[in-house]
Amino acid sequence: MEMTQCPAARQEAFIQRHQGFDVEVNLHHGRLYHVVFDEAILSRFFEETTKVNAQHLEYVPHMRFMLASKLKELFGQQLQDVLRGILLDRNSGGFTLGVQNVASTPDDYVKFGTAVSHLIGPGNFDSMSGTYYARFLVKDTDKSDSYLRQAYRLFTLHTDGTFVDEATDWLLMMKFEERNAVGGESRILHLDDWQDLARFAEHPLASYKFIYKSPPSKNMAQMIQRRTFFKMNGKFCISFIDQFVQPETIEQAQYLHDLSDSMESAKNTATIPLPVGDLIMLNNLFWLHGRAPFQKNADLHRELMRQRGMFSEA
Ligand SMILES: [Fe+2]
């Protein structure tokens, strides 16, 4: 699939060299930044955290913040300030970064992703995995009950956390492995780049509390009521996924259908490649994400980790 770039104006407010890391432009999206670490210092992160493994992080929540603290110790308070600043900046709200080939095991990827995410705030419980992160495989065949692992379908644009009652302020996706994969890139859309935002956000149903129910694989029996659009700092934010929202009338169904259709045809939706060992972190309140379909391949194998969570008080 050809990469589609978003023509949004290049954001430059955070571009700067810091002690131990540089903030650069993300070459695939004008709103995103790319952070590059000093490799020697990054290696020290892994050398000095060898005693921590993924199971330890699953069982002991404070260890997740201890990893974040190690990143701060190595790269300075500025790293936290910059990453938080980018995520909270309405004009951007996202960045990519990676392990830069200094690590390559799943345990190291979990540790690194956790350290980065916990500079921002605590990870939410992921009911699909039973812990604060989920690793999921996409392969040639799948019998699941949502589009998450169905390789050859377009995964429509949505936000995460619609059917949990915790706030889901941020989303992190990290690539662990990829073989025989063509296509399948992340598709992302910033709300302010969507031409129909006002039409749907100012609609009478924009603030209607729709019921959200998740399929059995999500292990969440509860029902949540959520308004689709809400304002934060005077700007529209969104909470939406077409698969789990339950309209009660034809009129409501039409609104949701038109909303999803409009997003899917938004010309500013961009596809972003994510190399193995890299992660993307987005503000989940004003970014939508989805996935392009993969090209058919019997040996397709791709594994991603996701984490979602809240902003902690600064
Ligand atoms: Fe998602």
By residue range, what is the domain housing residue 171?
A: 16-309
Residue 8 parent element (H or E): none
Interval between CA 95 and ligand 1 midpoint (Å): 17
CA 158–ligand 1 middle distance (angstroms): 6
* Centre of ligand 1 from the C-alpha of residue 291, in Å: 9
* Ligand 1 geometric centre to CA of 137 (Å): 14
Task: For residues 114-118, give the mean pLDDT.
Answer: 98
**Cα–Cα distance measured from residue 106 to residue 111, given in angstroms and rounded to the nearest whole number:** 9
Alpha-carbon distance 195 to 263, whole Å? 9
Q: How far is the CA of 15 from the centre of ligand 1 (A)?
A: 28
pLDDT number for residue 1: 43
Contact 124, 168 (CB under 8 A): yes
Domain count, the chain: 1
Residue matched to tokens 């609104």: 255
d(CA 296, CA 248): 37
The DSSP symbol for 131 reads B
Within 13 Å of residue 270, how many CA atoms lie on the same side as its CB?
19
In a domain, 10, yes or no: no
What sign does the CA torsion over 312, 244, 125, 101 have?
A: negative
**Position 154 in a domain:** yes
pLDDT of residue 215: 75
Note the pLDDT of residue 43.
98
Stated pTM of the model: 0.94
In a domain, 1, yes or no: no
Residue 288 lies in a domain: yes
| pLDDT tens-place string over residues 271-283 | 999 999 999 999 9
In a domain, residue 290? The reply is yes
Sign of the dihedral defined by the CA atoms of residues 95, 100, 105, 107, in that order: negative
Looking at the domain assignment, is residue 3 inside a domain?
no
Q: Is 267 helix (H, G, I), strand (E, B) or coil?
A: coil
**Is 221 part of any domain?**
yes
- Residue 223 in this model has a pLDDT that exceeds 80: yes
CATH, residue 241: 3.60.130.10
Q: How far is the CA of 160 from the centre of ligand 1 (A)?
A: 5
Q: Check pLDDT > 70 for residue 175.
A: yes
Q: How many residues does the chain have?
A: 314
User: By three-state DSSP, how is residue 45 classified?
Assistant: helix
User: Ligand 1 centroid to 189 CA: how many Å?
Assistant: 13
Residues whose Cβ atom is located within 5 A of ion ligand 1: 160
Distance 40 CA to ligand 1 centre (A): 33
